[in-house]
């Protein structure tokens, strides 16, 4: 393969420094709890008001949202929650009897509390509210706590309306690392989250990863700065590719976009027009920096090499524009979400097509898909063993336990053999035969 354009920076370059900063902040919050959060909110968001959004203020903010916007938000919610409900129905509770006397089963239990983070800052991410909160509610989560950073004197009204439509039970006006810690520790609400979900910047993503690594709670995915790739051959339109790459580069200064192609002419044409498409934005600064520092165009020999490169990058989003889009659906194995054909663009999935836009980044697509309703569910098993089945299973489990050197396990099975089948001879002399009455 050949780089027609190579990134000047990598996401890994700053990750260790970010992790160190986040660890210090989380440790301070764990120690000083609400007091630390109050100080951080003042420092980073200039916020000194109440954190829990009152019903009165919520309704006042909702009243500011135009009806056309409300209609579009409801449409997005119907699409996303509808897809999530179908996902929920795809996994079932069941019971099975593998041998006579043994009953095994699976139960699907929703999480008790989900903490959903909705980014703020430059954009009012109303659709992110739907993606996390709506999906948690479709899963049956009883209590969903949502955090979003205030923009001035409140969360953006459209975000508040989206959270209300999606079914958030508690809304907190707070952002950043302090918001993630607030949900994890149950600060201000008394309800620690079983799972943290939602996208965010590198600091938010790192906070989620650290808390999950500590065993305090689960997380949805490592959803850091957005990354997008386009796979295209000589049948693709260079302007469509450039427009789509720019649309994702505007997410942030550190949002990489990549083009994988087997057409030198296409790659060079996209390289030529990218600056023009970026400059045409009302505010081109962020996209320009993202493309300059993190953008890449990679020229490959053929489709198998393009597929191999794509799987190596494991991009959050992959758009495919080739003469046979289904080939890629059949052969790609590492990505967050796949967009097939020129009629598709990542922006559709980001907003309202129905699939979830909270997706793995930083190559987490190697081992994880994106946020889905199953992330909010616990798949729990049970077993019931009748007397006759207990005889065979206990005998086998006892022997297997000793193969592994686990005498205590073996004796738990031996005890049942001796207790329930006293008239039979067993090939053991063990602790469980002693009389402790």
Residue-wise burial string across 310-330, b where 16 or more C-beta atoms lie within 10 A, e elsewhere? bbebbbbbbbbbbeebeebee
β-strand 317-321 against 337-340: which pairing, if any?
parallel
Given the residues 173, 250, 316, 342, select the one marked as catalytic: 316
Choose among 225, 179, 170, 234: nearest CA to 199. 225
d(CA 126, CA 351): 9
Is 316 known to be catalytic? yes
d(CA 252, CA 369): 22
The residues facing 172 across adjacent strands are: 52, 147
d(CA 7, CA 335): 20
Q: Is the dihedral of CA 219, 344, 162, 125 positive or negative?
A: positive
**191, 164 Cβ separation under 8 angstroms:** no
**159, 129 Cβ separation under 8 angstroms:** yes
DSSP structure class, residue 53? P
Given the residues 77, 251, 317, 357, select the one marked as catalytic: 317
Q: How far is CA 252 from CA 200, 279, 344, 363, 437, in A?
A: 11, 16, 22, 18, 71
Is 409 known to be catalytic? no
- Provide the 10 A C-beta neighbour count for residue 305: 15
Q: How far is CA 390 from CA 158, 382, 386, 394, 399, in A?
A: 59, 15, 6, 6, 14
Would you name the residues annotated as active-site residues?
Answer: 316-317
């Amino acid at each position: 393969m050949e780089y027609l354009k190579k990134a000047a920076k990598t996401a890994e370059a700053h990750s260790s420094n970010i992790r160190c900063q986040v660890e210090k902040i989380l440790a301070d919050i764990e120690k000083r709890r609400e007091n630390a959060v109050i100080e951080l909110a003042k420092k980073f968001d200039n916020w000194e008001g109440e954190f829990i959004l009152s019903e009165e203020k919520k309704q006042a903010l909702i009243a500011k949202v135009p009806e056309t916007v409300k209609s579009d938000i409801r449409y997005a919610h119907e699409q996303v929650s509808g897809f999530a409900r179908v996902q929920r129905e795809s996994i079932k509770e069941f019971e099975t009897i593998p041998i006579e006397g043994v009953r095994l089963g699976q139960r699907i239990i929703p999480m008790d509390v989900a903490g959903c983070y909705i980014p703020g800052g430059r954009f009012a991410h109303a659709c992110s509210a739907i993606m996390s909160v709506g999906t948690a509610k479709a899963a049956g989560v009883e209590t969903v706590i949502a955090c979003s950073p205030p923009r001035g004197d409140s969360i953006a009204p459209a975000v508040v309306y989206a959270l209300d439509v999606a079914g958030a039970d508690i809304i907190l006006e707070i952002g950043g690392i302090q918001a993630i810690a607030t949900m994890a520790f149950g600060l201000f609400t008394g309800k620690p989250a079983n799972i943290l979900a939602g996208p965010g910047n590198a600091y938010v993503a790192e906070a989620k990863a650290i808390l999950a690594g500590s065993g305090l709670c689960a997380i949805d995915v490592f959803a850091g700065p957005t990354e997008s790739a386009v796979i295209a051959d000589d049948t693709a339109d260079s302007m469509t590719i450039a427009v789509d790459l720019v649309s994702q580069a505007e997410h942030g200064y550190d949002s990489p976009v990549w083009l994988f192609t087997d057409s030198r002419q296409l790659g060079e044409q996209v390289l030529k027009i990218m600056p023009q498409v970026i400059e045409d934005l009302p505010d081109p600064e962020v996209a320009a920096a993202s493309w300059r520092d993190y953008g890449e165009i990679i020229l490959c020999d053929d489709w198998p090499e393009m597929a191999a490169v794509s799987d190596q990058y494991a991009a959050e989003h992959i758009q495919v524009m080739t003469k046979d889009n289904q080939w890629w659906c059949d052969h790609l194995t590492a990505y967050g979400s796949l967009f097939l054909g020129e009629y598709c663009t990542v922006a559709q999935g980001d907003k309202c097509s129905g699939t979830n836009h909270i997706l793995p980044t930083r190559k987490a697509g190697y081992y994880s898909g994106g946020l889905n309703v199953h992330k909010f569910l616990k798949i729990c098993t049970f077993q019931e063993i009748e007397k006759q089945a207990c005889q065979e299973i206990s005998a086998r489990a006892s022997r297997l336990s000793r193969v592994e050197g686990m005498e205590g396990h073996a004796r738990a099975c031996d005890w049942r053999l001796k207790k329930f089948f006293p008239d039979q001879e067993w090939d053991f002399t063990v602790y469980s035969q002693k009389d402790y009455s």
